[in-house]
Structure 1
Amino acid sequence: MEENDSGKPTCKYGGDCYRTNPQHLEGFWHPKKGKRKGENQDSDDEDASVAKKRRSDAAEPEPGISGDAETKSSENYEVEEIDDGEDKDIDSSVESQDSARPATPPNLGPREEIKWKFTMEMPEDFYDFWEFCKSVNKKNPQDALKASLGLQLVGPYDVLAGGLKRTSQSKRSSYCLHWRYYYDPPEFQTIIRGDDTTQHHLGYFRDEPNEMPVFVAANSAKKNCSFSAQGDNIFAAVKLYMDQLSKATKDKAEQNKIQSLHKPLIDWAKKCGHSLESKTQGMKIREKKVVTKTFHGAGIVVPVDASGVGYRELPETDANLKRIFKKIADSKNEAERNTNFEPLDEIISFVQFANDECDYGEGYELGIDLFMYGSSVLHGTIRNILPLAYTLLRREEFGKILEAHLEDRRKDDLSML
């Protein structure tokens, strides 16, 4: 084995180190890789080749390099088949057209079916709100808010309505993609959609996949990637939306239409014991646990011990990160992109060191920021960073949702129905 007589510290990744940053190469000693028979390149060429391949693996296979996200087909996306049953009311012809998803196990109650299809349990306010909407429109609860507020119940509510029993036209590989908007992170689950112009929608935001949501958030996907808290339950979120809509509406008839739901909603929420405050004490406590806001603004929470182990800041500001991502996304060819990738490679090196020292939050932050930036050119890099962060944080369910979403990330045509 080659000895280190350079006086420099040995790089922890040895001859397999992919980093090409001059400062790193000057500061650490790297053993040369042994040449195989027929090999004429020196170790520097090999290191450059490894770095180039890594960047190539990080980029999505697409016809050209663009900052715009591409809609990708998921017809060949493989999912685990379920052997213990099929939806009883799906005939064989429907099943053959809908073969991208595993069949739902039989004899599941509504709550169990929602958990199986969307991988997470819904809180009690989810079901209480369904009963409220049934009191407004018994025949079609999903449209109970449509005429007055322009809102429609979607996502897991389609299970309660029986809509996801027959989805023959859908080839999406996972139920978690049903009404998953372009910027929806794995932590977010859409339950109410608004207008198609701004793609305003409401949903539950969670810090842990096996725990109940921490609040209801709102996003307008056609505008930006920002998510804002609207209350800790759906009643509070809809009331806030109702109040904002009423203030913005000048027409008296439209105001009366909006206000027609005001008292019934408040009464139902009180009867069920749900707060109508837009910011509760629990939400304030959660705010204190947020280690960083990230690009989406809702913040991330990771376990941090008394000595501070669990999270360390990224070595770049949000503004600089966006500039780095933009240069990569806007690159005109592979050579230019490889050059523009170098600052991001250096940041990833810091993330690797952080992971080794149990500061898993740094990789989590970088992965979320990459996702929220929105360029499909960065999807490969996201796959290299964020699923690992979820695994290290024991949030594997979020990783599965992320993988499915990156495989079929759309800006439109979001419903499976």
Structure 2
Amino acid sequence: MPKEDCKYWDKCYQRNPAHLSKYNHPEKPAEKKEDCAEDRKVAPKRCASSQSEDTEKDTPSKSEDKDEPNASNSSADVENEEEAKGSFESETAELHKEAMSNISGKNYMEILEKRIRLSVQKEYDNLCESNEFIRHKFLVEMPPDFYEFWKFVGSLKTDPAKPKDAGLEHLDKVFQLQLVGPFEFLAGRFHGAKLGEPGDYLRHWRFYYDPPEFQTIFVRRGTGIHYGYWRDVPQDKENLLIARNDSAKGCAFQFVAGNAFDAFLYYLEHDFVATPFSAGQLTGVKKAVPKYLSDNSLELAQLDRLQRERNKRVVAKTFHRAGIVVPFERKTQLGYRPLAVSDSELKKMLAMLERKDLDGGAAKQAVLAKLQPVANAATIAVDESDFGSALELGIDMFSSGHKELHMLASSLLVPAYSMLSRPQFIAIAKAHMEQRRREVNLSMFEVLK
């Protein structure tokens, strides 16, 4: 059976002996072989047989051809074929080596890294084209009042040359109020910004005592006073409460509003001190809020109703005073059981970490020894579907502010959030505890400079 012509002809770079024994690699296809190739498309068997017949007709039989010269010629042909084969293999090896040198070693890694960066950048740029960026980077979705408040802020802008962020600058300059986090995305500040790691976005404006359920949207410039949406479930995007915390004073959170507009008014009443220069603008913006709501026929959820509804679902108080919400069957008491110790007993245990008469390592070991039975009981509660117990203890460990307890807190929060189908909170808690800072300027843009 004669060898077929390789479809790559003399440009083929394969050195596999099996390939070379099966295919010819001439510089140029012969006419007869081209015809045969055409015939093979129609009837390959016939083409092969016709070639065999032609060969038999042109080649003398063994009985007719016994002359030495012919035998000598056959031997020479074999030697020439072997020499040509060796030359071809050598040339093919050189071509293959040259081709591979362009995609190997350091050069290859540089090309790969560049392509990965371009791919990541392209994905980032595409995300920036829609509000999907917020869900993708912050792992939550924003409620309707968030977007309405942004429109209101736009109506306050004073610089026509900056249509996106002029409202933010106005509130900051006049009222020392920074709109941060997802508001900065709407202002275009993430567009073209230096790319960060996933954790950088989750830590963006996340203050020291902020639990995963809290997301900052307002900050009083240069202080630990901040406001944000409180979500008991990551997927919630309607009727969210807004809480306030001052990280300089501790972990306590206070629910102050049922929407962004009321939170803004609360800030102006309680956290902003007007000067003679800003008194007129303060009066004007206070009137602008109800006017905007009336002009746009907006009826937003109020704090009293939302808080009453939430209080019915709270199963336990916590150190941060906001409590926790988990599914709870009151008839069977399934979903939550009290901790093995009271809040006051737990606080006494944790106070040992602050004792100056004990070595830091010794104090930590003493506290962990006392906490371990409590943690074990909460872990058993998770196995018996009382997920709220581990969540309560984990949140209390986090809210205590002691970084020595991060590992213990994580061992409780991860299974609790997992069984409650709140994986977004696991990612947020882990990212926060990896780089937990007591600073007041917690913008990721400062970190990535």
1:347 corresponds to which residue?
Answer: 374
**Structure 1 residue 335: deviation in Å?**
4.1
1:123 corresponds to which residue?
Answer: 143
The aligned amino acid for 2:386 is: D
1:161 corresponds to which residue?
Answer: 187
1:324 corresponds to which residue?
Answer: 349
1:373 corresponds to which residue?
Answer: 400
Residue 187, structure 1, aligned to residue 207, structure 2: no
Structure 2 CA distance for aligned equivalents of residues 264 and 196 of structure 1: 26
1:384 corresponds to which residue?
Answer: 411
Report matched runs for 1:300-319 at 5 Å. 300-305=324-329, 306-319=331-344
2:443 corresponds to which residue?
Answer: 415
Q: Equivalent of 2:155, from 135, 140, 153? A: 135
Structure 1 CA distance for aligned equivalents of residues 290 and 153 of structure 2: 13
- Native 8 Å contact 2:241 2:306 kept in 1: no
The runs of 5 or more residues in structure 1 that have no matched partner are 1-80, 89-102
**Cα deviation per residue 1:3-46 (whole Å; 9 max; x = unaligned)?**
xxxxxxxxxxxxxxxxxxxxxxxxxxxxxxxxxxxxxxxxxxxx
- What TM-score do you get using the length of structure 1 for normalisation? 0.71
Report matched runs for 1:240-279 at 5 Å. 240-245=266-271, 253-270=277-294, 271=296, 273-275=298-300, 277=302, 279=303
Structure 2 CA distance for aligned equivalents of residues 124 and 256 of structure 1: 30
Residue 338, structure 1, aligned to residue 358, structure 2: no
Structure 2 CA distance for aligned equivalents of residues 262 and 357 of structure 1: 52
- What TM-score do you get using the length of structure 2 for normalisation? 0.66
The aligned amino acid for 1:371 is: F
Moved more, 396-405 or 312-321: 312-321
2:383 corresponds to which residue?
Answer: 356
Q: Equivalent of 2:222, from 196, 199, 213? A: 196
CA change 1:129–1:85 in 2 (3 A) is farther
**Structure 1 residue 284: deviation in Å?**
1.0
**Cα deviation per residue 1:39-83 (whole Å; 9 max; x = unaligned)?**
xxxxxxxxxxxxxxxxxxxxxxxxxxxxxxxxxxxxxxxxxx989
2:203 corresponds to which residue?
Answer: 177
The aligned amino acid for 2:404 is: V
CA change 1:202–1:315 in 2 (3 A) is same
The aligned amino acid for 2:152 is: F
CA RMSD, Structure 1 to Structure 2 (Å): 2.5
Structure 2 CA distance for aligned equivalents of residues 272 and 410 of structure 1: 42
**Structure 1 residue 146: deviation in Å?**
2.2
Report matched runs for 1:398-413 at 5 Å. 398-412=425-439, 413=441
- Native 8 Å contact 2:145 2:300 kept in 1: no
The aligned amino acid for 1:125 is: D
- Native 8 Å contact 1:312 1:361 kept in 2: yes
Q: Equivalent of 2:310, from 286, 303, 308? A: 286
**Structure 1 residue 143: deviation in Å?**
2.3
CA change 1:308–1:276 in 2 (3 A) is closer
Report matched runs for 1:23-102 at 5 Å. 85-88=119-122
- Native 8 Å contact 1:128 1:272 kept in 2: no
SS of equivalent to 2:318: coil
Query: Per chain length, whose mean CA-contact separation is higher, i.e. which structure has more relative contact order (CA < 8 Å, sep 6+)?
Result: 1
The aligned amino acid for 2:233 is: E
- Structure with higher Rg: it is 2
Structure 2 CA distance for aligned equivalents of residues 132 and 172 of structure 1: 30
The aligned amino acid for 2:213 is: E
The runs of 5 or more residues in structure 2 that have no matched partner are 1-114
Larger helix fraction of residues: 2
The aligned amino acid for 1:378 is: L
- Native 8 Å contact 1:85 1:105 kept in 2: no
SS of equivalent to 1:304: coil
SS of equivalent to 1:106: helix
1:211 corresponds to which residue?
Answer: 236
CA change 1:154–1:356 in 2 (3 A) is same
The aligned amino acid for 1:286 is: R
Q: Equivalent of 1:295, from 319, 342, 350? A: 319
1:9 corresponds to which residue?
Answer: none
**Structure 1 residue 280: deviation in Å?**
3.3
Structure 2 CA distance for aligned equivalents of residues 389 and 82 of structure 1: 35
**Structure 1 residue 115: deviation in Å?**
1.0
**Structure 1 residue 232: deviation in Å?**
1.5
The aligned amino acid for 1:266 is: P
**Structure 1 residue 354: deviation in Å?**
1.1
Structure 1 CA distance for aligned equivalents of residues 125 and 173 of structure 2: 36
**Cα deviation per residue 1:269-295 (whole Å; 9 max; x = unaligned)?**
342514374x23132111121112211
Structure 2 CA distance for aligned equivalents of residues 302 and 82 of structure 1: 41
**Structure 1 residue 105: deviation in Å?**
6.2
**Cα deviation per residue 1:185-244 (whole Å; 9 max; x = unaligned)?**
1111111111323x1111110010011262011111111111111212100111122233
The aligned amino acid for 1:350 is: A
The aligned amino acid for 1:136 is: L
**Structure 1 residue 170: deviation in Å?**
6.1
